[in-house]
Amino acid sequence: MKSYKARGVVLHTLKYGDSSMVVYLLTDVGGRRSYMVQGVRSTRGRGSKLALFQPMFAVEFEGLESPRRQMDSFREIRSGAVLRSVPFDVRKSTIALFMAEVLYRLVRESEPNGPLFDFVWGSVGALDAMEEGVANFHLWFLANLSRFLGFYPGNAYTAGAFFDIREGLYTKTPPPHAGYMSGEHARTLDDFIRCDVRCLGEIGLNRRQRVGFLDALLVYYGYHLDAIRAVQSVKILQEVF
């Protein structure tokens, strides 16, 4: 079997049999890929590896391609980054769960996408390091993820503009259809697109505003990618934030 070295971010896992699992990763070498991990749930030998496969955990590994199987396997795997807060902070772990499910539902390509992978990998580190503005992180992530999914805003924001969801453009007047963001949400979208992730604490939103803007973003995503409607962790996110 051919081997290769790669980095990946954990998106989803499925139990397989009594002691094995299927792990879905976003990888730098082949987009989204699935891997069979045998014996990972066993109390003997390799049980400690289970801790690596949490939502949005970054890993480095040596993979094995099998021409007879649809899924690859691991020869070696280890942590790709030491996460000091995500596993222990309920706010950050909730956001990580949401990010992982969004990527699992929306990213299907099995081809390398360097810019997308670098954005996701960097987002994991940014979330872990963040001290202020955590409640805004999922909004920043969704607003900027659109750049890599093909429907990023196509023009610059101007004061008082609306945002046409169908066309992906800021407009001076409301479009002649219901698919647009209000002036408030259009301004917030621009704030998150222009904001450095380290400065999210400077965007002052209350709970009502965060929930409203998240709903607007989900409508925006839903128009372009219907699979966003299957993301179940939105409900948990709304309870926490």
Place of tokens 């021409």: 67
* Residue 238 Cα distances to 79, 138, 232, angstroms: 30, 11, 11
228 contacts 222 by C-beta, under 8 angstroms? yes
C-alpha–C-alpha distance, residues 155 and 67, integer Å: 46
Tracing tokens 């670098």 back to the chain, one arrives at 118
What pLDDT does 41 receive? 63
Going along the chain from its start, the domains and CATH numbers come out as 2-79 (2.40.50.140), 130-240 (no CATH)
Summarize pLDDT for 102-155 with one digit per residue, the tens.
999 999 998 999 999 999 999 999 999 999 999 999 999 999 999 999 999 999
Q: What are the residue ranges of helices labelled H in 107-136?
A: 114-129
Q: Is the pLDDT of residue 46 over 70?
A: no
Q: Is the pLDDT of residue 85 over 90?
A: yes
Average pLDDT over residues 210-234: 95
Check: CB of residue 135 under 8 Å from CB of residue 241. yes
Answer whether 0.85 is exceeded by the pTM.
yes
Integer Cα distance of 217 and 215 in angstroms? 5
Task: Taking residues 214-228, report their average pLDDT.
Answer: 96
pLDDT at 239: 84
